[in-house]
Amino acid sequence: MTAVQTDPVVSTPYGAVRGRREHGVAVFRGIPYAAPPFGPRRFRPPVPPEPWDGVREAADFGPTAPKPPYSDAFAQYLSDPFVPGDDCLNLNVWTPEPGPGARLPVLVWLHGGALTRGSSAVPVYDGLAFARDGVVFVSVNYRLGVEGYGLFPDAPANPGLRDQLAALRWVHESIAAFGGDPGRITVAGQSAGAISIGALLAAPQAQGLFRRAVLQSGPPEASDRDKVRRMVRRMATRLKVPATAAAFAEVDRELLLRTQAEVGRLSSPVLGGPAFGIVVDDDLVPRDPLEALVEGSAARGVELMLGWTSDEYRLWLVPGGLLERVDRLGPVALAGAMARCHCGSEVVRGYRALHPDAGTADIVGQMVTDHLLRIPLHRLAEARPGSSYVYEFAWPSHRPDLGACHALELGFVFDTGAAPESAKLAGEGAPTELADAMHGAWVRFAADGDPGWRPWDATHPVQIFGKGDPYVESGPRDHDFAVWTADTTTPETAPVKEPAEGWPARTAELRSVVRRLRRTGLARRH
C-alpha cells in the first residue's frame, strides 16, 4: 500500500509554515523574514515580522517589491513577474529533506535586475534542481529602486542591502529546521545580485553568515553617492517634493514608480549616467567593497567562484537594433567608450590590434565589459589565489545576435532550460549537457567548495563553458586586461581623430543612440 505524503510543516522563529510536495521535494514560498516595509517603516531598515499563530500557508510566491516593468525591447528577452501586496520581504525554500537532522548544504540566491527590477518569482530561478541534487535552496526578495537604494539625508543608506542581510540572518538561524546546515551556506547572485554579494562579503555585519560566495557577472563595487543623489533629486523635482525620505514616503507608490522609470531613462549600462546603487555608508558598507576584499581586510576564509559571459554587452545593445547603430558611429562611439571607461586611446588601439576583425560595437562592448566587470573580478581572484575559481560562459544563444550575452547562463545554472522563460534568451534546443555541467559545478561548490576545476593560481585557470565539453584555459583574457595596465594616457591627453566628413551627423546619431538606450529601461546592469 502506497503511503500518502502530507504537506510538510516546519517551525520558524516567527511561526509554523506549511509548504507543498512538488516533484519529490518540499517547497515553501513566501515566508516573511521581515515586516512589510511600508507605512512608518518605509525607507527604514528592516525589522522582524510579527509572529503568527497556527500554521501559515506557504504554497505561493509572496508579493514582489515595487518595480517598473521592463520596456518592450527587453521584455521579449527577460521575464519579471509581479505579485501584488505589501509583505514583499519574503523568501522561498526548496529542500529535499525538511527536518533538523539532514545538515545539507545551502545555497541562497540574490536575483539581478539593476537593483530596480527582478524577483525570486522569476521561473528561471526555480530551485527544484538544486533540491533534487541535495542542496537546500533559498531565494530572496528585497527592496528595489528608490525604495531600496535611494539616498536621503534623513534615512540610513542601502535599505535593500539591509534586507538581504536580514534574510541571511534568518537563513543562518532558521535553515536547520528545513534540513540545511548553517555552517555550509553559499550565497550566490548574478549581476546586481553579485554586486550585492560583493558588498556583503565586505560588510562587517555579514561576517560568519556564509562560507562561500558565487559572483556571476557582477563585481564588488560602491556607486558614486552623487550619482545616486542625482537620481533622487531629479525624482524630487518631477514630484515637486523635497528630496527627503519623509517627503518620498508620502508619495503614492505607483506615482513613485512611474517617476523612477522616467528618471531612469537617463541611465544606460553602456553610456552610464545617474543610477541607483550600493553606496559606502560608514555602517553596513564602511569602505569600497572591492578595495576591502583585494587588500584582504574582509571575508577572510570565504571561498569564491567568479565569472562572466563572453558577450555580456549584447543584451544591452541587441534589443532595439542598437548594435548596428553603434557600428555605424565608428570613432564617435569609441570616444564615448573612452569617456565611459576613463581611459586613453591606447586602450582602443590595443583592442583593435588584439581583435582586428571585430566591429566597433564589439570593441566598445568588450571595453566596457572589461572595465566595469571582468577586470574587477580578475583583481579579486588575483587577491585570493587558492580559494577562487573563475569561469567564462561562452555558449552562444540560438536567438539572433545575442551570442553569449548577459544572463544567458542562468537557465543552465538552474537547469531550467525547459522553461519558456529560459528560451526567451537561449532560444529553442539549448544543450542539456551544458546544463548538466554548469548546474553540477554549482552544486559541487555549494557542497564542498570545489566546482571541479583547479583554483586560481599563477597560470590563471578559467573554466570555459561553451560548445562541447567544458575545458580549462589559462588566462584567456590576459592580453585584453594587459592593455589597460599599459595605458598611460587619459581622455584629456589622447584625443580621438575626428573624421574629415560626417562628424556632426554622427554626433547627432550618437545622441539618438543615447536616447534609445535610455528608453530601454534597463539600468546600469541587468
Q: What CATH number has the domain bearing residue 160?
A: 3.40.50.1820
For residue 450, is it within any domain?
yes
pLDDT value at residue 139 = 98
The question of whether 191 is a catalytic residue gets the answer yes
pLDDT value at residue 351 = 97
For residue 198, is it within any domain?
yes
For residue 4, is it within any domain?
no
For residue 524, is it within any domain?
no
The question of whether 312 is a catalytic residue gets the answer yes
Query: What whole-number distance in Å separates Cα of residue 414 and Cα of residue 438?
Result: 8
Backbone φ and ψ of 16, nearest 5°: -85, 150
Q: Which domain holds residue 385?
A: 9-519
pLDDT value at residue 268 = 62
pLDDT value at residue 468 = 95
For residue 399, is it within any domain?
yes
Cell numbers found for residue 246 = 519623509
For residue 129, is it within any domain?
yes
**Looking at 172, 378, 406, 460, which residue is catalytic?**
406
pLDDT tens-digit profile, the chain (526 residues): 444 568 999 999 999 999 999 999 999 999 999 999 999 999 999 999 999 999 999 999 999 999 999 999 999 999 999 999 999 999 999 999 999 889 999 999 999 999 999 999 999 999 999 999 999 999 999 999 999 999 999 999 999 999 999 999 999 999 999 999 999 999 999 999 999 999 999 999 999 999 999 999 999 999 999 999 999 999 999 999 999 999 999 999 999 999 999 998 766 666 566 789 999 998 999 999 999 999 987 888 999 999 999 999 999 999 988 899 999 999 999 999 999 899 999 999 999 999 999 999 999 999 999 999 999 999 999 999 999 999 999 999 999 999 999 999 999 999 999 999 999 999 999 999 999 999 999 999 999 999 999 999 999 999 999 999 999 999 999 999 999 987 444 333 333 333 334 444 444 555 555 555 444 433 344 4
**Looking at 119, 191, 267, 268, which residue is catalytic?**
191
Cell numbers found for residue 393 = 560562459
The question of whether 355 is a catalytic residue gets the answer no
CA distances (Å), origin 60, targets 29, 64, 523: 5, 12, 29
Task: For the chain, give percent helix, strand, coil, nearest 5.
Answer: 40, 15, 45
Q: Which amino acid is at 216?
A: Q
C-beta atoms surrounding 511 within 10 Å: 11
Helix H or strand E segment including 490 = none
pLDDT value at residue 266 = 65
**Sheet arrangement for strand 25-32:** 20-22, 25-32, 90-95, 136-140, 104-110, 180-190, 212-216, 303-309, 388-393, 461-465, 471-474
For residue 103, is it within any domain?
yes
**Looking at 147, 312, 409, 421, which residue is catalytic?**
312
Q: Specify the DSSP class assigned to residue 100.
A: T
- The count of domains in the chain is 1
- CA 29, distance to chain mean position in Å, is 21
pLDDT value at residue 522 = 35
pLDDT value at residue 452 = 98
pLDDT value at residue 4 = 53
Query: What whole-number distance in Å separates Cα of residue 13 and Cα of residue 177?
Result: 10
pLDDT value at residue 501 = 43
The residue length of the chain stands at: 526
DSSP string for residues in 47-73 = -PPPP-SSEEE--S--PPPP-PPPPHH
For residue 3, is it within any domain?
no
Contact 115, 157 (CB under 8 A): no
